Structure 1
Amino acid sequence: MRRAVCPGSFDPVTNGHLDIIVRASRLYDSVHVAVMINKAKKGLFDIDERIALIEQVTAELGNVRVEAFNGLLVDFCRQREIPAIVKGLRAVSDFDYELQMAQMNNGLSGVETLFVPTNPAYSFLSSSLVKEVAQWGGDISHLVPPQVLDALNEKLRQQ
């Protein structure tokens, strides 16, 4: 069975993230979406909310499993016998950082990294940008799945 992981913080998951996950699910038999726990960072959505949103928007794929992870991604991969990491690249600046991470991960464990160019429609998109635009009342309906839009609007109303 061909397995891969799509890691990230997904706070919140965007259409750009979803594009990469869907494309990975077409290439691999099983795709794990590893949702990073970063205790040093206070996210808008807690880990359980992020997992639930990703599960909702990937439910129809059938071969996607969503899990939290804390620590090194290579340990997550080793524990699950996952030989490949799939990462989306938006711009050259992403490549500089991601190449270093890919080389480190390969050196630590032999895990390969597959870089997938982002759909040009999402080349500017980040969770941080989505949150900022939403906080100022901008229309982000074309940038996130409907479930995420509803959850984000509700979360911002509570603040």
Structure 2
Amino acid sequence: MRSAVYPGSFDPVTFGHLDIIERASKHFDRVIVCVMVNYKKNYLFSSEERCAMIRESVAHLENVEVDVSSSLLVDYAKLKGAQVILKGLRTVQDFEFELQMALTNKKLDNDVETFFMVTNNQYSYLSSSVVRELMEFDGDVSDFIPPHVEKAIRIKYGKDARE
């Protein structure tokens, strides 16, 4: 069984993330979306909230599961029996950072490969931080995140939770 781990903070999950997950689900027997916890970061949503939003977003994909981890990514992949770490790339800057991480992970565990998936053009500018910044100024985020995520982020920012 070919398994891939797609790690990220997903704070919040965006249509860009979901596009990567959907496409990956067609190429792997199992895709584990792993909400990574870095205790040095301040997140808008708890790891449980992020997992719940992702689960609702991918409920139609039978071979996708959602989990959370604060461990070293290669250790997590090995624990889950995953052969691949999947990373989405939007820009050259993403590539430079992710290449460094991939080489480090390869040094730590030669059995785990990193696959890069280029983001869909329509999401190449999109990030969770862009969504959060737009929401701070009450911008329209409906083209960037699913409705249930928009409702949750509006509540977090004390905006009206539009139905």
Structure 1 length as normaliser, TM-score?
0.97
Question: What residue number does 2:104 align with?
Answer: 104
Query: What's the CA shift for 1:53?
Result: 0.3
Question: What residue number does 2:123 align with?
Answer: 122
Query: What's the CA shift for 1:95?
Result: 0.4
Question: What residue number does 1:156 align with?
Answer: 157
* Distance across 1 between alignment mates of 2:137 and 2:76: 37
* Distance across 2 between alignment mates of 1:28 and 1:150: 31
What pairs up with 1:70-89 in 2 under 5 angstroms? 70-89=70-89
Over 6 Å off, 4+ runs:
none
* Distance across 2 between alignment mates of 1:106 and 1:79: 16
Unaligned runs of at least 5 residues, structure 1 = none
* Distance across 2 between alignment mates of 1:80 and 1:45: 25
What pairs up with 1:128-147 in 2 under 5 angstroms? 128-147=129-148
* Distance across 2 between alignment mates of 1:47 and 1:86: 20
Render the CA deviation track for 1:106-131: whole Å, top value 9, x for unaligned.
Answer: 11112111111101111111101100
Question: What residue number does 1:31 align with?
Answer: 31
Q: Higher helix proportion, which one?
A: 1
Unaligned runs of at least 5 residues, structure 2 = none
Question: What residue number does 1:44 align with?
Answer: 44
CA RMSD of aligned residues (A): 0.9
144-153 or 6-15, which deviates more: 144-153
**Count of matched residue positions in the alignment of Structure 1 and Structure 2:** 158
Structure 2 length as normaliser, TM-score?
0.94
* Distance across 2 between alignment mates of 1:22 and 1:146: 18
Query: What's the CA shift for 1:155?
Result: 1.2
Render the CA deviation track for 1:62-120: whole Å, top value 9, x for unaligned.
Answer: 11111110121000011111110111100111100100111111111121111111011
Secondary structure of 1:105's aligned partner: helix
* Distance across 2 between alignment mates of 1:92 and 1:73: 22
* Distance across 2 between alignment mates of 1:19 and 1:86: 13
Amino acid at match of 1:81: G
Secondary structure of 1:6's aligned partner: strand
Secondary structure of 1:38's aligned partner: coil
